Chain A
Amino acid sequence: MAKYTLKRLLYCVVILFFVMFIVYVLMYNMPTGFVEQKARELASRPNALKSYAEWLADLNAQYGMDKGVILGYLTWLKSAVVGNWGDSWAWTVPVLTEFHNTVWYSFALGLVSFVLEIIIAVPLGIVAAKKQYGFTDYFASIISMICISLPTFFVATLLKYIFSVQLGWFDLTGMQGRDYLNLDDFGKFLDIAKHFVLPSLTLTIVSIGGLMRFTRTNMLEVLNSDYVRTARAKGVPEKRVINYHAFRNTLIPLVTTLGGSLPGLFGGALITETLFAIRGIGYASYISMTQADIPFTMFYLAFISILTLLGNLITDLLYAVVDPRVRLS
């Protein structure tokens, strides 16, 4: 097991190397660069002393874009490996500082919606499978279809319209309310929590559809299997058949999928965060990307790649934990 994990980790490193190279090449060739924008801005100012072309050359040299693609990548890689990700061009603070400031909000948002979606979708899926073709099943299926089909920005805007504009229960956007300063620590915490309600709701709504369908499908497959029939033939009460015998098997794909998505909690939800002005990592990355802030974007994409690879690894390892058939002896 340990050897397997080690081997997988090494593969991850190799994959990461090439993924980051591809990302770097794409960033390098983006048409509207931060550098060009800044050059244009500097040149069009009154009393500008240099022309656009001169500023461009200056800034390119300053930001290291004048080397070739491969050299540039290796230069960046050399400093990245030791943990020096450089200063963000858009935020003008070190990349890691900006990261620390923003990732925990995304994580909080992700965690809350993760827990909520499990609580709602999994039991619903089980019930839908148990009473297949019954009312619950159709109802749950319709709900999940609706939730899958709705795009995030639509759900977010809809929630904002209903709960903020029409009902006035929540603030439209932002992370803290107007009176934040005057609250004590607990009050501040509650205020931020209140502002997180709509974004978490958005993320939950968007995710429960898929999870419910997934649970239902797996549950159905399990309920029609032979060993469930054997259990019934043994005289096992129906409740225990569902909740113990069947569910334990449904758990395998469930746990592995959910476990694999755990690293994704840190990845941030770009659209939701932007629409609700939550300063999470998704939002920060969006701003950086539109301004072609190469250091931050490279870091974020490296981060996401690491999370994805980690997620895959966790999934595979979890399989071995929950499914005895997969264990390597």
Chain B
Amino acid sequence: MAVSSKAKGDSSYISGRESRRITKFNRKITRKLENERANANKDPKLYTTHMKDPNNVVEFDNVCTYFFTDVGTVKSVDGVSFNIPKHSTVGVVGESGCGKSVTSLSLMQLLQRPSGQVVGGQIRFNTGNGEAIDIVNAPNKIMETIRGNRISMIFQEPMTALNPVFKIGEQVDEATELHNPDMSKEDIKKRTLEMLDLVGIANKEGVYEMYPHELSGGMRQRVCIAIALACSPTLIIADEPTTALDVTIQAQILDLLQSLKDKMDSSIMLITHDLGVVAGMADYVVVMYAGRIIERGTADEIFHRPAHPYTIGLMKSKPVIGRKVEKLYNIPGSVPNPVNMPNYCYFRDRCEMQCEHCSGDYPPEIQIGETHIVSCYRFLDEGEIVGHPQSVDVEKLLSGD
């Protein structure tokens, strides 16, 4: 990784020569990766595989998603590995910019290509009968049958998530229609009304004929949820579904999601930065920081026995109702520059609990409980090492195979 000394000190300045070099590099590598993709799409053997554990719906295995931007290569997701078991809710927490959304987009193959590419790792999706599809290499055609059908997504901004020129009914109908081409129109409409009812919309016939701008934010998010559920997917990704809504509606939506989870049998991947939400709903929690997972485990373990200093800091900064404090706690420092990530623990400069190993390389993943894994040198002696998040060297990628 060639890093110019200039860029280290003042990362916002890029000289003309540097900028041209970056652009040239970006062009070359994106072209290479796109070509590889195109080739890979033709051979089904390259994207079918098996799940490591057939009880998982999705297995992330050292996924690396890089963005080739004008200021350099941004490593949004850099060696992320975790699993989403069946019928469970996994909460993915972290600050803004830690890579949570990108992880979900990688899973849906909705990245902004050609600048965004999954350069390494596997995302295995359980198609049933022990078969799995590696989403990283899967062609678009296959993805189109998966999206909305097997995996569906609810987005953050309900106000803009619906197409303003089509009626609500049409938009929900479409989700069903696309993946059930043999259904008749009346059946589709019946299903839509069912869904609208399921998400708690009272005037479902009226809403069926309305346009999105005639509904409030909460209603629109319900509609989005209805769309997501229309085909009974195995995985629902909810990307900060309540961030844009006020607290009362937030509670309603979360209740809805909870009830649906019980009814519907799908797994939910709940992405949020709101710990309270996670606490209420999640079975498992994954904590991400600067593109990597620093701790994962059950909700109970994360909340009551946080291991990583970052997680501890997160818990500490949660204000508690009734408790008076002088000053609200916050973790000092800020997230490192995503373009030039150092090769030591990302949290080291902000950590209050450094030990002597921290001066070394990036800490490995250490298992300290059956389901509890953390990337921190403090537990080097306690648990066993289970893996290392592997970065991908993009220069090698270009010049290599």
Which A residues are CB-close (under 8 A) to B224?
Answer: 230
Decide: A235 and B153 in contact? CB cutoff 8 A: no
A-B contact pairs, 12 of them (CB 8 A): A227-B163, A229-B110, A235-B144, A235-B147, A235-B149, A248-B163, A322-B165, A323-B165, A324-B165, A324-B213, A325-B164, A325-B213
Decide: B164 and A235 in contact? CB cutoff 8 A: no
Given contacts A227-B161, A227-B162, A233-B110, contact A324 B211 (CB under 8 A): yes
Which B residues are CB-close (under 8 A) to A31?
Answer: none
Minimum CB distance partner of A252 in chain B:
B165
- Smallest distance from the beta carbon of B127 to chain A beta carbons, Å? 15
Given contacts A230-B155, A324-B165, contact A235 B160 (CB under 8 A): no
Decide: A225 and B211 in contact? CB cutoff 8 A: no
**Within 8 Å of chain A (Cβ to Cβ): is B227?**
yes
Minimum CB distance partner of A323 in chain B:
B165
Given contacts A226-B157, A324-B213, A325-B213, contact A234 B163 (CB under 8 A): no
- Across the interface, B178 reaches (CB within 8 A) one of A225, A234, A248, A325, namely A234
Within 8 A of A (CB), among B250-307: none
- Across the interface, B152 reaches (CB within 8 A) one of A231, A233, A248, namely A233
**Within 8 Å of chain A (Cβ to Cβ): is B390?**
no
Minimum CB distance partner of A224 in chain B:
B112
Which A residues are CB-close (under 8 A) to B166?
Answer: 248
Which B residues are CB-close (under 8 A) to A238?
Answer: 140
Decide: B155 and A324 in contact? CB cutoff 8 A: no
- Smallest distance from the beta carbon of B267 to chain A beta carbons, Å? 17
**Within 8 Å of chain A (Cβ to Cβ): is B145?**
yes
- Smallest distance from the beta carbon of A53 to chain B beta carbons, Å? 68
CA distance A323 to B157 in the complex (A): 21
How many residues on the B side are at the interface (Cβ–Cβ under 8 A)? 29
Decide: B160 and A226 in contact? CB cutoff 8 A: yes
Minimum CB distance partner of A228 in chain B:
B163
- Smallest distance from the beta carbon of B27 to chain A beta carbons, Å? 10
Which A residues are CB-close (under 8 A) to B155?
Answer: 226, 229-230, 233
**Within 8 Å of chain B (Cβ to Cβ): is A237?**
yes
CA distance A238 to B143 in the complex (A): 11
Using A235-B147, A235-B175 as known contacts, list a sample of 13 further A-B pairs with CB atoms less than 8 Å apart, ordered by residue number in A: A227-B160, A227-B161, A227-B162, A229-B155, A230-B162, A232-B110, A234-B227, A235-B149, A236-B144, A236-B174, A238-B140, A249-B164, A249-B165
Given contacts A227-B161, A325-B213, contact A234 B140 (CB under 8 A): no
Which B residues are CB-close (under 8 A) to A226?
Answer: 155, 157, 160-161
Which A residues are CB-close (under 8 A) to B110?
Answer: 229, 232-233
- Smallest distance from the beta carbon of A233 to chain B beta carbons, Å? 4
Which B residues are CB-close (under 8 A) to A248?
Answer: 163, 165-166
* Chain B residues close to A by CB (< 8 Å): 108, 110, 140, 143-149, 152-153, 155, 157, 160-166, 174-175, 178-179, 211, 213, 224, 227
Minimum CB distance partner of A246 in chain B:
B163
Which B residues are CB-close (under 8 A) to A249?
Answer: 163-165
Which B residues are CB-close (under 8 A) to A323?
Answer: 164-165
Which A residues are CB-close (under 8 A) to B149?
Answer: 235
Decide: B163 and A245 in contact? CB cutoff 8 A: yes
Given contacts A248-B166, A324-B165, A324-B213, contact A234 B160 (CB under 8 A): no
Q: Which 10 interchain pairs have the tightest Cβ spacing?
A: A235-B148, A235-B147, A234-B148, A226-B160, A227-B163, A233-B153, A324-B211, A325-B213, A230-B161, A226-B161
Minimum CB distance partner of A324 in chain B:
B211
| CB 8 Å contact bits of A240-282 with B (1 = contact, 0 = none) | 0000010011001000000000000000000000000000000
CA distance A231 to B140 in the complex (A): 14
CA distance A171 to B220 in the complex (A): 62
- Across the interface, A235 reaches (CB within 8 A) one of B161, B178, B213, namely B178
Given contacts A226-B155, A324-B213, contact A232 B161 (CB under 8 A): no
CA distance A237 to B146 in the complex (A): 11
- Smallest distance from the beta carbon of B245 to chain A beta carbons, Å? 15
- Smallest distance from the beta carbon of A219 to chain B beta carbons, Å? 15
Which B residues are CB-close (under 8 A) to A230?
Answer: 155, 161-163, 224, 227
Decide: B152 and A234 in contact? CB cutoff 8 A: yes
CA distance A233 to B107 in the complex (A): 11
- Across the interface, A236 reaches (CB within 8 A) one of B146, B161, B164, B178, namely B178
Which B residues are CB-close (under 8 A) to A325?
Answer: 164, 211, 213
Given contacts A226-B155, A248-B165, A324-B165, contact A235 B146 (CB under 8 A): yes
- Smallest distance from the beta carbon of B91 to chain A beta carbons, Å? 20
CA distance A230 to B157 in the complex (A): 11
Minimum CB distance partner of A225 in chain B:
B160
Minimum CB distance partner of A249 in chain B:
B165
CA distance A229 to B164 in the complex (A): 14
Which B residues are CB-close (under 8 A) to A225?
Answer: 160
- Across the interface, B163 reaches (CB within 8 A) one of A231, A233, A322, namely A231
CA distance A324 to B163 in the complex (A): 11
Decide: A232 and B213 in contact? CB cutoff 8 A: no
Minimum CB distance partner of B179 in chain A:
A235
CA distance A245 to B163 in the complex (A): 7
Minimum CB distance partner of A248 in chain B:
B165
Which A residues are CB-close (under 8 A) to B174?
Answer: 234, 236
CA distance A22 to B341 in the complex (A): 68
CA distance A245 to B153 in the complex (A): 18
Within 8 A of B (CB), among A276-329: 322-325
CA distance A234 to B175 in the complex (A): 6
Which B residues are CB-close (under 8 A) to A234?
Answer: 147-148, 152, 174-175, 178, 227
- Smallest distance from the beta carbon of A320 to chain B beta carbons, Å? 13
- Across the interface, A227 reaches (CB within 8 A) one of B140, B145, B148, B164, namely B164
CA distance A6 to B227 in the complex (A): 42
CA distance A15 to B163 in the complex (A): 38
CA distance A226 to B174 in the complex (A): 17
- Smallest distance from the beta carbon of A226 to chain B beta carbons, Å? 4
CA distance A232 to B108 in the complex (A): 9
CA distance A229 to B110 in the complex (A): 8
Decide: A235 and B145 in contact? CB cutoff 8 A: yes
